[in-house]
Amino acid sequence: MGAGRPVAPSDPERAGPSDRGRVVVASNRGPVTFVPDEAGRPVPRRGVGGLVSALTGALQRTGGLWVAAAMSDLDRELAARGRLDVAELGWNFGVRSLVVDPETYDRFYNGVSNRVLWFLHHYLWDVPRAPSFGPQEREAWEAYRKVNRTFARALAEEGEAQGGPAYLVQDYHLSLVPAALRELRPGAPVAHFFHIPFADPTYVRLLPTALRRELLAGMLGADVLGFHTERWARNFLGCCEAEGIRVDRRRRAVSWQGREVRVRPYPLGADVEGLAAAADTPEARAALAELEAWRGEARLVLRVDRAELSKNILRGFLAFELFLRRYPEWRGRVRFLALLNPSRGDLEEYAAYVEQCLAVAERVNRELGSGGWRPLEVSLKDDFPRAVAAYQLYDVLLVNPVFDGMNLVAKEGPVLNRRDGVLVLSENAGAFEEVGRYAVRVNPFDVLETAEAIAAALAMDREERARRARALRRAVRRNPLERWVEAQLADLEDARRRG
């Protein structure tokens, strides 16, 4: 989610009173962090991204609370003093920050969430060698369990004050919260949403037996389990079946401890208004001018990603190289810009991967560049205004993750693009289910196909590009941001009514 993006203008129609009860959101990272101003006074900064917009939008309508872990030292300090003061963001709901001791948090966050669960569900392990679960990994798991229980206790405590709210628990960091919360408040309506892919039944067996059962049991504490796509929901159902749990595939329901758990896709939309606002800031306008000058007459192939193993940056570069070798007529006439947001620098796997990507980029520039033409430009920097500017300028947007829960870049780029740019999209991105038919489809492991897709996108005639770009924008707009939360809340109410 990050921080620092300007607040989107609130829409009075959306922000109106809701007929729903209050909502309590739980997530590892909260919607706000505090940074000191010149006088040292802590100033709240709203996080960026579609998810924060969707959840803060919902909380604005219903009132309630967002519970998250304190991140920075300043967050921790403020959190220790009580509820956070977010009045100046104009928020109609509270934010509670949980303080976890740094060592436990590191094991929970890096040791399990990022190093085990993220790797598991994105298929990132070098399986002959990793994962390997020994005593240290067990300790990390204890920390994961502990932080999840801390969340569950906080959510349960807040239940009374919020008048029996609906709980929206976010993501793989908090897989054990639903069951732990249900123990404390048996009747509470609980939805859990998994923002990343969910691995298939056989691959999930890379987790120790007891751990994977605990994870499934943890999630099955919810009434509603949400995923971005049918495919991830189906994988979850398959994993339950493989553990001998009763599943009704047709109704997408799991029978668990006398309850019925609904397992559904809720694809998250793009924050169309927030994007428009972000593109309209002075920073983004300045970045746009600068990028236009830099690009010159060349066509622009763009990627915007976290510097992340699952994003497939390496094969993307190799595909661009192969494209330049197979289509030498494009040399000097096209530039590849990779805007990579640094991520998880604490994990050595990430540092090694980024280094490998940079080495390939350098080789491509050395072997194929000439004169003033550097074919491949990599920027390793958290620079949202620049990304928003680049979205407007691309001719080809390359989104080729190996696997991705949703991938909002594939939706955000087309919303802002002004050049009828072509989306080259991995069939393994969750977004493919919604917008894949208007993109040039690639298998992310197929470097040759990806090279050919770049060539095809660049060679596509004007009408075809315009037709696809229009259709893309329409497809994105067909799924407004509010729908994601509303559909979950509606299913929660329905689940509650039926018992």
Shortest reach from residue 123's CB to its own copies, in Å: 5
* Tokens encoding 55: 């959840």
Shortest reach from residue 318's CB to its own copies, in Å: 7
Shortest reach from residue 445's CB to its own copies, in Å: 5
Q: Which is nearer to its own copies, 21 or 208 (CB)?
A: 208
* Tokens encoding 334: 């096209």
Q: Which is nearer to its own copies, 42 or 131 (CB)?
A: 131
Shortest reach from residue 197's CB to its own copies, in Å: 7
Shortest reach from residue 448's CB to its own copies, in Å: 5
* Tokens encoding 111: 């040791």
* Tokens encoding 458: 């660049």
Per-residue H/E/C for 16-79: CCCCCCCEEEEECCCCEEEEECCCCCEEEEECCCHHHHHHHHHHHHHCEEEEEECCCHHHHHHH
* Tokens encoding 14: 């959306």
| Start-to-end C-alpha separation, the chain | 35
Give every CB contact of residue 133 below 8 A, 6+ residues apart in sequence: 208, 211
Shortest reach from residue 191's CB to its own copies, in Å: 24
Residue 72 region, left (φ>0) first, then alpha (ψ -120 to 50), else beta? beta
Q: Taking each helix axis from N to C terminus, what angle separates 447-459 and 313-326, rounded to the nearest 10 degrees?
A: 60
Give, as one character, the DSSP assignment of residue 116. I
CA distances from 270 to 52, 353, 361, 418 (A): 11, 29, 30, 17
Helix (H, G, I), strand (E, B) or coil at 238: helix
Footprint on this chain of its own copies (rule: CB under 8 A): 122-129, 131-135, 137-138, 197, 199-203, 205-209, 231, 235, 238, 242, 309-310, 312, 314-315, 318, 322, 353, 356, 402-403, 427-428, 441, 443, 445-449
| Nearest CA-CA partner of 399 in 365, 367, 368, 434 | 434
Q: Which is nearer to its own copies, 326 or 418 (CB)?
A: 326
Amino acid letter, 368: L
Q: Which is nearer to its own copies, 140 or 155 (CB)?
A: 140
Shortest reach from residue 132's CB to its own copies, in Å: 5
Residue 363 region, left (φ>0) first, then alpha (ψ -120 to 50), else beta? alpha
Shortest reach from residue 194's CB to its own copies, in Å: 14
Helix (H, G, I), strand (E, B) or coil at 33: strand
Phi, psi at 41, each rounded to 5°: -80, 135
Shortest reach from residue 255's CB to its own copies, in Å: 18
Phi, psi at 26, each rounded to 5°: -125, 135
Check if the beta carbon of residue 303 is closer than 8 Å to that of residue 316. yes
Q: Which is nearer to its own copies, 205 or 419 (CB)?
A: 205
Shortest reach from residue 406's CB to its own copies, in Å: 15
Check if the beta carbon of residue 364 is closer than 8 Å to that of residue 320. yes
Q: Which is nearer to its own copies, 185 or 205 (CB)?
A: 205
Q: Which is nearer to its own copies, 6 or 131 (CB)?
A: 131
Q: Which is nearer to its own copies, 138 or 363 (CB)?
A: 138
Q: Which is nearer to its own copies, 115 or 182 (CB)?
A: 115
Q: Which is nearer to its own copies, 326 or 381 (CB)?
A: 326
